[in-house]
Copies of this chain bind each other. A is one copy, B any other.
Amino acid sequence: MKARLILIGGGGHCKVCIDVIEQTGQFDIIGILDLAELVGTSVLNYQIIGTDQDIAKYVEQGYSFLITVGQIKSVALKEKLFHILNENKAVIATVVAPSAHVSVHSNVGAGTIVMHHVTVNAGAIIGKNCILNNCCDIEHDTIVGDHTHISTGAILNGNCRIGNGVFVGSNATVANQIVIGDKAVIGAGSVVIKNVTAKDIQAGNPAKSINK
């Protein structure tokens, strides 16, 4: 039987998640939770059926959950929703696109979605509630923390250590053995060849801090 899945967050990122979830053939999407004023509207034919106030009710009914809010400027909402799910002892899904290659020698945490054409190589460990966006590549032995978003086409080379709540922008390149601290933000197309401290914001080739 397919797992019955509730999505939390009905924006643009939710569309992308639905596209991956449908491809897997492993889930029935029951509906989406979002703001009260959006209840009754829909995203790609799936209805917004409630708000995050309804999580406890749906946990009791035996549904699984995936957080489908995006994450570019701040990870706070994604993190908060994940804690609410855990407090409610919710079953949290892990979703892997059929076109992705996830090594049997790697680990992917609960609540993480691995999108189209992604590579997760041998020895990689991916945390919980992460987004591995379309076409990104996580190389061998690299460790990614929780609530982290590796955006479209970004490459984390081997033996990196990426913190919690990090955002690595689209098509960014992170060299081997780089350490990136919690909640750091790496701009699109950046080339990271030196370690990045927590909460730092970097961009460019080579990437430099643009924090003021």
- The prevalent SS among residues of A at the interface is loop
* 8 A Cβ contacts from A1-59 to B: 12-13, 15-16, 18-19, 22-23, 44
Which of B97, B99, B103, B173 is A188 in contact with, Cβ under 8 Å? B173
* 8 A Cβ contacts from A177-212 to B: 187-191, 193, 203-206
| Chain B residues, CB < 8 A from A135 | 119, 135, 137, 155
A105 within 8 A of B: yes
Interface size of A by CB at 8 A reads 50
Q: Are B173 and A19 in contact (CB under 8 A)?
A: no
Q: Are A116 and B101 in contact (CB under 8 A)?
A: yes
- Complex CA distance for A65 and B115, rounded to whole angstroms: 34
A158 within 8 A of B: yes
Q: Are B117 and A101 in contact (CB under 8 A)?
A: yes
- Complex CA distance for A207 and B32, rounded to whole angstroms: 38
Q: Are A19 and B105 in contact (CB under 8 A)?
A: yes
* 8 A Cβ contacts from A139-160 to B: 139-141, 151-153, 155, 157-159
A176 within 8 A of B: yes
Given contacts A103-B19, A105-B44, contact A119 B117 (CB under 8 A): yes
Q: Are B152 and A139 in contact (CB under 8 A)?
A: yes
List 4 additional A-B contacts (Cβ < 8 Å) besides A44-B105, A203-B206: A16-B121, A101-B117, A119-B134, A157-B188
